Structure 1
Amino acid sequence: MRLTFDRSPGTGPEVVCLPMFSTTRVATAAALAPALSGADLRETYLDLPGHGDTPANCPATSQAVLDSVCAWLDQHVDAPVLLAGVSYGAYLAAGVARQRPDLTRGLLLVCPGVTIAPSSRTLPEHRPPPGPTGWLDEAPTDLRAHLDAALGHRTPAVVGTVLAALAAGGPGDETFQRALRTGPGYALPDEDVDTPFHGPVSVLTGRQDGVVGYTDQFHAMRRYPRGTYTSIDEAGHYLPFEQPALLRAQTQDWLRRTRA
């Protein structure tokens, strides 16, 4: 399977990182590389089908996208790897662990989706504290409602960092992405199945995440006998850019557990 990827040199374990929906491997590296640094890992960042530099070379369903990731792993790695993902990438990583546990040593799931349908998600009841006056002024008008719901750490600096990440690496195939997001195959067929995964897992959520919330992820911890769950205040759906120091601390602990 042809997926565009960047892989860093290293002699340690390989960690394969999957992106947020509609973003690229460049954005994923901006989100996760600082948290993974210093561990001598072989870091691999993938562009999913129809994202970044990977063409839309599969049907517009999440199962087909997951199958593409598994086919890439079968072709490019010779041992189970660590999987890390943010948002949709974390949703896929958890799906790989359910369907192909032979490919997976451990999971780092950051702001993971648990159910794909927005109507089925448990979102925070309380709004985040207001940001400073004008904190969203630099955001394009069509993104302001999304960022207002998504961000818990509400500052102009965070907004600028998120916007830079969203723009990094090109738009990909927007027609494919739209068909995926709006089609009947957006949900993985086994998203509700509580198949246990016995490797080390770290699940990080934003306490003010108005996109996927933090409650469903806690209930899904029954799937992870060796799982750590963390909900971080002053963080939303873009947690890696809102609380990078806390993400790094939790990631380094996860890496320690994967090597125990």
Structure 2
Amino acid sequence: MNLVSEAHGSGLPMLCLPGFSLARSAMVAAMEPAVAANSALRRIYLDLPGTGQAPGGPPDSDGVVDWIGEFVDREIGPERFLVAGWSYGGYLAAALARRRPEQVAGLLLICHGTRILRTDRDVPLAPAVSEDVEWLVDVPPDLRAHLSVALGNRVREAAARVATVLETAGPGDEEYLERLRTTGYQLSDEGSTTTYPGPTSVIAGRQDYIAGYADQFRALASYPAASYALLADAGHYLPFEQPEAFRGLVLDWLARCAATLGGPPLDQPAG
């Protein structure tokens, strides 16, 4: 299968995995404002199967994790690396850390899925919001229903930022993605009690009506070296809704990763 990625910077590899159906450009837009100035970090952004320039691929999420593992073996090799995942990408990132705990040197989970089937998720009840409210005025009509549920910071600027990201990052192979979501979404080890000991940061939005925040808190038992941040006025697109707070949390995580690795700082800009 063709593996499509892009890399920025040099140094310790950090693999970045986007949300379901979104191209790597969405994760670039989320992460680069937080880490672009860092001098010791090689950020690798990957198109998951059926997104961006990558064709459809494995029939289930276990296969997608294996596919990511093959990419790691080819592009990173045996070197230790960090992994960051947002939403479905976080679900996959957590699985990768469970399966490669000695190689994954740090784990960043952003509004991530812990129980991937919608019927299994513990999410807050979304308020009723009219789709023609002022904060959605710059959002294309076909995205308004989604953003009226997905955003917690319901201001015009945040909605416009997210709409731009979504329009740029999708759609991909919709037939493949729908089949994956319908028949192969849940990982076989989703309920695993395996712990990942490396530096972990779990970031959630108080108004995330898609992935929630309670399941993520309960999952902390699997991450003995984890911090957990719950941001008010943030939903499922937290990096774009609260970019300054998000940047601070990412830099804190990178500092903890660097301390564990015993190498140069990862949270400092180039001199």
* TM class, shorter-length: over 0.9
1:97-116 correspondence to structure 2 within 5 Å = 97-116=97-116
Contact 2:131 2:144 in 1 (8 A): no
Find the counterpart in structure 2 of residue 69 from structure 1. Answer: 68
- Partner of 2:6: helix, strand, or coil? strand
- Partner of 1:60: helix, strand, or coil? coil
Q: Give unmatched runs, 5+ long, in structure 1.
A: none
Q: Could you list the per-position Cα deviations for residues 204-245 of structure 1 after superposition, in whole angstroms to 9, with x for gaps in the alignment? A: 000000001000000000000100000000000000000010
Contact 2:129 2:148 in 1 (8 A): no
Q: Give unmatched runs, 5+ long, in structure 2.
A: 260-271
Contact 1:73 1:103 in 2 (8 A): no
Cα distance in structure 2, aligned partners of 1:52 and 1:126: 30
Find the counterpart in structure 2 of residue 118 from structure 1. Answer: 118
1:72-151 correspondence to structure 2 within 5 Å = 72-78=71-77, 79-125=79-125, 127=127, 133-151=133-151
Contact 1:214 1:231 in 2 (8 A): yes
Find the counterpart in structure 2 of residue 45 from structure 1. Answer: 45
Q: What is the Cα deviation at residue 146 of structure 1?
A: 1.8
Q: Could you list the per-position Cα deviations for residues 73-121 of structure 1 after superposition, in whole angstroms to 9, with x for gaps in the alignment? A: 0111131210001100011000101122233111010001001111111
How many percent identity over aligned positions?
44
Find the counterpart in structure 1 of residue 240 from structure 2. Answer: 241
Find the counterpart in structure 1 of residue 9 from structure 2. Answer: 9
Q: What is the Cα deviation at residue 171 of structure 1?
A: 2.2
Contact 2:126 2:209 in 1 (8 A): no
Question: TM-score if structure 2 supplies the norm length?
Answer: 0.90
Cα distance in structure 2, aligned partners of 1:50 and 1:213: 25
- Partner of 2:45: helix, strand, or coil? strand
Q: What is the Cα deviation at residue 130 of structure 1?
A: 9.2
Cα distance in structure 2, aligned partners of 1:141 and 1:114: 30
Q: What is the Cα deviation at residue 131 of structure 1?
A: 10
Q: What is the Cα deviation at residue 159 of structure 1?
A: 1.3
Contact 1:198 1:226 in 2 (8 A): yes
Cα distance in structure 2, aligned partners of 1:38 and 1:257: 18
Contact 1:2 1:72 in 2 (8 A): no
Cα distance in structure 2, aligned partners of 1:154 and 1:227: 29
Q: What is the Cα deviation at residue 156 of structure 1?
A: 1.7
Cα distance in structure 1, aligned partners of 2:46 and 2:16: 6
Aligned-residue Cα RMSD (Å) equals 1.9
Contact 2:49 2:58 in 1 (8 A): no
Cα distance in structure 2, aligned partners of 1:96 and 1:182: 22
The one-letter code matched in structure 1 to 2:89 is G
Q: Which deviates further from its counterpart, 247-256 or 160-169?
A: 160-169
1:181-196 correspondence to structure 2 within 5 Å = 181-183=181-183, 185-196=184-195
Q: Could you list the per-position Cα deviations for residues 45-89 of structure 1 after superposition, in whole angstroms to 9, with x for gaps in the alignment? A: 000111100111x32211111111011001111312100011000
